[in-house]
Amino acid sequence: MQFNTLLCFSFFLATLPLLAQKRPLPDPLVFTNGKRVTTAKQWQSQRRPELLEFFANEMYGHSPDKPSAMRFEVFDTDANALGGKATRKQVAVYFDGKSNGPRMDVLLYIPNQVKGPVPAIVGLNFWGNQSINADPGIRISTSWMESGRGNPYVDVSCVVNHRSTEACRGINAQQWPVDSILNRGYALVTAYREDIASDEKSTMFTTGVHPLYPNLQNRGDNFGTVAAWAWGLSRIMDYVQTDNRIDAKRVAVFGWSRLGKAALWAGAIDERFAMVISHESGAGGAKLFHRGVGENIRRLCTVFPHWYAGNFRNYMDQDTLLPFDQHLVISLVAPRPIYVASAEEDKNSDPEGEFEGAKAASVVYQFLGTTGLPASQMPPLNQSVQGQIGYHIRPGGHDVTNYDWQHYLRFMDKHFKKK
Residues that bind ligand GCU (CB under 6 A): 257-258, 282-283, 295, 348
Dihedral, CA of residue 154, residue 158, residue 164 and residue 170, to nearest 10: -50
Residue 188's contacts (CB-CB under 8 Å, 6 or more residues apart) are: 108, 109, 120, 121, 176, 178, 181, 182
For ligand GCU, give the closer residue by CB, 27 or 146: 146
For ligand GCU, give the closer residue by CB, 195 or 295: 295
- The gap between the terminal CA atoms of the chain, to the nearest Å, is 72
Residue 76 C-beta: closest distance to ligand GCU, Å: 29
For ligand GCU, give the closer residue by CB, 356 or 399: 399
Residue 254 C-beta: closest distance to ligand GCU, Å: 14
Strand order in the sheet with 246-256: 71-81, 86-94, 103-111, 187-192, 118-125, 246-256, 275-279, 338-343, 389-394, 385-386
Residue 297 C-beta: closest distance to ligand GCU, Å: 11
Residue 149 C-beta: closest distance to ligand GCU, Å: 8
For ligand GCU, give the closer residue by CB, 258 or 407: 258
Report the alpha-carbon distance of residue 85 to residue 291 in Å, rounded: 46
Residue 381's contacts (CB-CB under 8 Å, 6 or more residues apart) are: 344, 393, 394, 395
Residue 379 C-beta: closest distance to ligand GCU, Å: 22
Residue 86 C-beta: closest distance to ligand GCU, Å: 28
Instruction: Show which residues are catalytic.
Output: 257, 398
For ligand GCU, give the closer residue by CB, 184 or 258: 258
For ligand GCU, give the closer residue by CB, 28 or 282: 282
Residue 18 C-beta: closest distance to ligand GCU, Å: 29
Residue 60 C-beta: closest distance to ligand GCU, Å: 14
For ligand GCU, give the closer residue by CB, 220 or 397: 397
Give the 3-state DSSP-derived string for the chain, with helices as H, strands as E and coil as C. Answer: CHHHHHHHHHHHHHHHHHHHCCCCCCCCCECCCCCECCCHHHHHHHHHHHHHHHHHHHHHCCCCCCCCCCEEEEEEEEEEEHHHCEEEEEEEEECCCCCCCCEEEEEEEEECCCCCCEEEEEEEECCCHHHCCCCCCCCCCCCCCCCCCCCCCCCHHHCECCECCHHHCCCCHHHCCHHHHHHCCCEEEEEEHHHHCCCCCCCCCCCCCHHHCHHHCCCCCCCCHHHHHHHHHHHHHHHHCCCCCEEEEEEEEEEECHHHHHHHHHHHHCCCCCEEEEECCCCCCCCCHHHCCCCCHHHHHHHCCCCCCHHHHHHCCCHHHCCCCHHHHHHCCCCCCEEEEEECCCHHHCHHHHHHHHHHHHHHHHHCCCCCCCCCCCCCCCCCEECCEEEEEECCCCCCCHHHHHHHHHHHHHHHCCC
For ligand GCU, give the closer residue by CB, 110 or 154: 154
